[in-house]
Amino acid sequence: MPENKILVCEDVSVAFDGFTVLDHLNFSIDYAELRFLIGPNGAGKTTLLDIITGKTRPQSGRVFFDCSGTQVDVLRHQEHYLVRRGIGRKFQTPAVFSSLTVFQNLAVAVSYLRNPTAVFRAINRQDFAKVMDTLEKVGLTARSEDKAGSLSHGEQQWLEIAILLVQESKLLLLDEPVAGMTRPERERTGELLRSIGNDRSVLVVEHDMEFVRQFANTVTVLHLGKVLSEGPMELVQQDPEVIQAYLGHNKARVLQDASAAGH
Contact between 20 and other proteins per CB under 8 A: no
Q: Report the DSSP beta bridge partners of residue 64.
A: 8, 73
Q: Which of residues 61-80 bind other proteins (CB under 8 A)?
A: 78-80
Among candidate residues 164, 112, 99, the one with its CA nearest the CA of residue 138: 164
Contact between 88 and other proteins per CB under 8 A: yes
Nearer to other proteins, 11 or 185 (CB): 185
The region of 3-11, 33-41, 66-74, 103-111 touching other proteins under the rule CB under 8 A is: 103-111
Paired sense of beta strands 171-175 and 201-205, if any: parallel
The answer to whether 10 touches 26, Cβ cutoff 8 Å, is yes
CA distance 40 to 27: 18
CA distance 201 to 19: 31
Contact between 150 and other proteins per CB under 8 A: yes
Q: Which of 49, 109, 171, 204 binds other proteins (CB under 8 A)?
A: 109
CA distance 24 to 157: 32
Estimate the crossing angle of helix 125-138 against helix 153-166, to 10 degrees.
Answer: 140
Residue 4's CB: how many other CB atoms inside 10 A? 11
The region of 138-146, 194-202, 222-230, 237-245 touching other proteins under the rule CB under 8 A is: 138-146
The region of 27-35, 41-49, 63-71, 84-92 touching other proteins under the rule CB under 8 A is: 84-92
Contact between 229 and other proteins per CB under 8 A: no
Q: Which of 2, 184, 240, 248 binds other proteins (CB under 8 A)?
A: 184
Q: Which residues bind other proteins (CB under 8 A)?
A: 53, 78-80, 83-84, 88-89, 91, 95-100, 104-105, 107-109, 111-113, 118-123, 139-143, 145-146, 150, 152, 154-155, 163, 167, 182, 184-185
